[in-house]
Structure 1
Amino acid sequence: MDFELKALTLADAVAQKCDALVALVTDAFGGGADPVSRLVQDARKSGDFDTKPGKLLQAWRPAGVSATRLVLAGAGDGSGKRIHAAVQAAVSALRTKGVKRLVVCLPTDAPEGAVRAAVAAAAEASYVFVATKSKPEARELQRVTIAVPGPAADHKAAFEAARGAANGIEFARELGNLPPNLATPTRLGEEAKKLAKAHGFQCEVMGPKEVARLGMGALLGVARGSEEPLRFIVLKYQGAAASEPPVVLVGKGITFDSGGISIKPAPEMDEMKFDMGGAASVLGTFRALGDIRPALNVVGLIPSCENLPDGRALKPGDVLTSLSGQTIEVLNTDAEGRLILCDALTYAERFKPRAVIDIATLTGACVIALGAVRSGLFASDDELARALHEAGEAACDPCWRMPLDEEYGEGLKTNFADMANVAGRPAGAVTAAKFLQRFTARYPWAHLDIAGTAWKGGAAKGSTGRPVGLLVQYLLGQQSSAGAKAGSGTRRRKAAA
């Protein structure tokens, strides 16, 4: 979809020829003498419209307005979160109305993040997946103009970043929504190569032989139950001097998860195609980096395979030797994501990173704890945790910090290896993070558990593209401190607040 930025007041916007005009109305809306302002004032006075986020009032061919349709959208206090909700509601309401050209008029008191929120919401609400349909419906909305009351130049940087992030989110959603017979590990490797060629990244895609030579016994163990060959993908974006340490993003790429020998229940198992949401988010973030070109270095690592129960599959009781040399007793083969991630986290050491962030649809326990609103955030470094949390709030892609007290790791003890891969049901999201933490001692590390946020079920079933928005916002915030560590080691602590 095509976005553009224009300097337009509400009085100017009424003369714009388009299929629909969306006017965002905040609690503090003062209005003017233009037709839309008068309509807002009259509708509020009569009680037919209020500014609660998501509340809409629609009109067809209103007097004095060039647009065919006018939508008044409540935006509450005018914060980025409320603007996101308002634009999402308005665009959703217009999806089946044949609207191809849309103008979104931001309020005069809109905050700094308003442009970002409006672009993200319009892209999200208008998205349609058609890749596997025999008679695909085209996305009706083709062009969105974001109208700002002040000089457009003041918002240009935010607009370009928002447009790049929206492209990255959509890229991740497309990959996540593909069926598992198409979105194989091989396909992920091919998509990475295409991104690299299109945007000038470096890319290496390794197969089983290369991974075996490296000594990634945990990744190999998970992959051996599938006929689809594993892939280990390395992407590199260089936006700063080669001497500057990179941020490393590690994405879980289980393209289908049956649970292996510890097989999952049949209902809703089809949704396990979304278990590569972490990998999709890393690729989506690189898609955004290709557009935005921030001044820092980023490495993407994606361990990818299927988890299936054939005669060679990993068994409960097997012991694996990871790339780090640490041994792991596999008590549950459905706790496979942490096994492929641990080898990638060890591999990340070679880049001498300023920070490492892994992203994974890791635990159902995180869904129980946080639902579908916030991703779970675990971190060994306070400054890194703060930066990720603030980025999530700014991008309307929120996360919540969870604890990492040492006591949570006690359940990983076993008589037969250095650690077990599970520690029982209590605090399952935390003990999974404690497992990963054992492979991250040499750098500031954070883990995002996106099991509740990477996709939606039910009638709205599909990938969300999260947390691409959070990751892009975090990386943009790191540009000014490129070359410095993401957090001070003296501030690091093992138990989160």
Structure 2
Amino acid sequence: QLDMVRLRNVLQAAGRTLRKRGHRRVAVVLPKDVVGKAGAADLARAVTEGIGLSNFDIGSLKTRHVDATTTIDALSIIGLDGEKVASAAIRDAVALTDATNRIREWVNTPANAFTPTVFAEKVKEAVRGTGLDLKVLDMDDMRRLKMGALLAVARGSDEPARMIVIRHNAGPKIGPLLALVGKGITFDSGGISIKPAQNMEMMKSDMGGGAAVVGAMLAIAELKPRINVIGVVPTTENMPSGKAIKPGDVVTGSGGKTIEIINTDAEGRLILSDGITYAVNEAATHIVDIATLTGSIARTLGPLAIGAFGNDPKLMDLVRRAADLAGERLWELPTWADYDGLIDSEIADIKNSTVPWAGATTAALFLREFVDGRPWVHLDIAGSAWQDASELKTVPKGPTGSGVRVMAHLAQLLASAT
């Protein structure tokens, strides 16, 4: 049952093996039965990305590799028709793969070497010469804008928070503005509602959504869709201390809503609320947020798929099509009206955590409160951002860069649709 997702995975695994054997040049021969499964552009994109993704090295901090590895820097695809269409797809796939691999490196970096300040500096380096506009808000800017939710999470850490804002200005002034908002928690201890010690080291990757937004913006700069896009990444640590927020506290977000804190480990939705409000205030017409948000989605879908929630069927359809082009699995989950009331608070407008079931859905309902009724999709990548299940033999392990290519393709699709 070969599809474009599995083709990417098998080629990524093959590429890793070839790198260990010292190969730099690779030829992929496509049999007729494979060529018949998809169009030339889709096949060219899948092959290029599969081999390109194999160049990521999860052990980059090792001082001594067990196996010497090379980088694959030349690829030939044999058996593919439609040379002109395929060539354009290959060119785009190289840009998408480079952006994805950069983000995988960031997600893989230890939290002591990737603080919010470092995150902002990495973005400054990455956007230089791309044509993207960059603004970084500091703590004083956040206080001026009354970002009480983000500042509340940041209180527990000695590392200052940042909000990274990136713009791609290539569409008409009166056209749509796509906002991509990503969670940038560079380390998540859970705060006062502290997490168990087991696997806490993986919380260095809790900035995967924010990193994916940056990666998507870098790819968009290369692909040049004729649309305006703003990337917003609130970034901080979530730490316990004498200054940290506590269960029972009430904070006020930049949109004026009061939020009762039930669980300090439900911090991602807090910082995203101020990020989404910032996008709304910047006149975003379409909003996509992305986050390693809930263990609930990982228990539901495992590491294989992105969980998607939304309020607009047209935008959701574009996101699904973007995921197909990106070679990522995505599954829509409900936000039925039956769930309304789950985030109601007795003492504030809403609360940040609620019943122990439907956790991914209630997180989405919380975020929906801040989109001002605009077309919106929430992508929960808590499962798909990192693959560590040894039982899944055909899926490469490690950080995946989930969402980077999806959001880049979405910008292209939305540009074509308007």
Question: TM-score higher than 0.5 here?
Answer: yes
Correspondence list, 1:446-457, <5 A: 446-457=377-388
Shift in Å, 1:133: 2.8
Aligned to 2:29: 105
2:411 is aligned, of 469, 475, 479, to: 475
Q: Deviations over 1:394-422 (max 9, x none)?
A: 32111111111123232212221111111
Pick aligned residue for 2:197 from 259, 266, 269: 266
State the distance in 1 between where 2:9 and 2:127 align.
34
CA distance in 1 between counterparts of 2:193 and 2:82 reads: 59
1:159 aligned counterpart, secondary structure: helix
1:276 paired to 2:200: no
Shifted more, 246-255 versus 282-291: the winner is 282-291
Choose which of 160, 178, 187 in structure 1 pairs with 2:109: 178
Match for residue 407 of structure 1 among 324, 332, 338: 338
1-structure distance, mates of 2:137, 2:48: 36
* Preserved contact between residue 5 and residue 329 of structure 2 (Cα < 8 Å): no
Q: Within 1, Cα distance between the matches of 2:303 and 2:99?
A: 21
Residues 1:390 and 2:326 are matched in the alignment = no
Residue 217 of structure 1: CA displacement? Answer: 0.2
Per-residue displacement from partner, 1:21-62 (whole Å, max 9, x unpaired)? xxxxxxxxxxxxxxxxxxxxxxxxxxxxxxxx6xxxxxxxxx
User: For residues 146 and 263 of structure 1, what CA distance do their matches in structure 2 show?
Assistant: 50
1:13-92 mapped onto 2 (5 Å cutoff): 76=2, 79-92=3-16
Q: CA deviation at 1:458?
A: 6.0
**Which of 291, 295, 303 is equivalent to 2:222?**
291
Matched, 1:466 2:402: yes
- Taking the TM superposition and a 5 Å limit, the aligned residue runs for 1:412-427 are 412-427=343-358
Distance in 1, Cα, partners of 2:259 & 2:324: 36
Letter in 2 for 1:386: D
Separation of aligned partners in 1, 2:203 and 2:403: 18
| 1:209–1:320 Cα change, 3 Å | same
Partner Cα distance (1:93, 1:129) in 2: 14
- 1:380 Cα shift? 0.5
**8 Å Cα contact 1:260/1:313 also seen in 2:** yes
Amino acid at match of 2:342: G
Report whether the alignment pairs 1:333 with 2:264: yes
Deviates more, 1:373-382 or 1:107-116: 107-116
CA deviations 1:150-199 (Å, max 9, x no partner) are: 35323222111111111111011011001001111111111222233220
- State how far apart, in whole Å, the 1-side matches of 2:63 and 2:6 are: 37
Q: Which moved more, 1:472-481 or 1:433-442?
A: 472-481
In structure 2, stretches of 5+ residues that fail to align are 391-395
SS at match of 1:203: strand
**Corresponding position: 1:311 with 2:242:** yes
What amino acid is aligned across from residue 368 of structure 2 in structure 1? Q
Give the deviation of 1:243 after TM superposition: 3.2
- Say which of 251, 254, 271 aligns to 1:323: 254
Give the secondary-structure state (helix, strand or coil) at the position aligned to 2:288: strand
Residue pair 2:247, 2:264 contacting (<8 A) in 1 also: yes
1:123 matched to 2:52? The reply is: yes
Q: Aligned equivalents of 1:267 and 1:313: distance in 2?
A: 22
Q: Quick check: 1:379–1:385 contact (8 Å CA) kept in 2?
A: yes
Distance in 1 (CA, whole Å) between partners of 2:223 and 2:79 is 21
Q: Which fold has the larger relative contact order, with Cα–Cα distance below 8 Å and residues 6 or more apart in sequence? A: 2
Q: Contact between 1:345 and 1:439, CA under 8 Å: does it hold in 2? A: yes
Do the aligned partners of 1:359 and 1:450 also contact (CA within 8 Å) in 2? yes
Contact map agreement 1:202 1:236 (CA 8 A) in 2: yes
> Match for 2:100: what amino acid?
I
How far 1:143 moved relative to its partner?
A: 2.0
Deviations 1:321-367 (A, max 9, x none): 01110100101000000000001111111232231000000000111
Native 8 Å contact 1:245 1:352 kept in 2? no
1:432-458 deviation line (CA, Å, top 9, x unaligned)? 100111111241111000000011236
User: What residue is the counterpart of 1:63 in the other structure?
Assistant: none
Shift of the alpha carbon at 1:127? Answer: 1.8
Instruction: Check 1:221–1:478 CA distance in 2 against 1; reply closer, same or farther (3 A cut).
Output: same
* Contact 1:252–1:361 (Cα < 8 Å) also in 2: yes
Q: Which residue of structure 1 lines up, in the alignment, with residue 20 of structure 2?
A: 96
Equivalence for 1:429: 360
Give the count of matched residue pairs.
406
Q: Does the C-alpha gap of structure 1 residues 447 and 352 become closer, same or farther in structure 2, counting only changes over 3 Å?
A: same
CA contact (8 A) 1:167 1:287 kept: no
Q: Secondary structure at the match of 2:289?
A: strand
Larger radius of gyration: 1
TM-score for the superposition, normalised by structure 1: 0.78
Q: Distance in 1 between matches of 2:411 and 2:162?
A: 26
| Unmatched 5+ stretches in structure 1 | 1-52, 54-75, 485-497
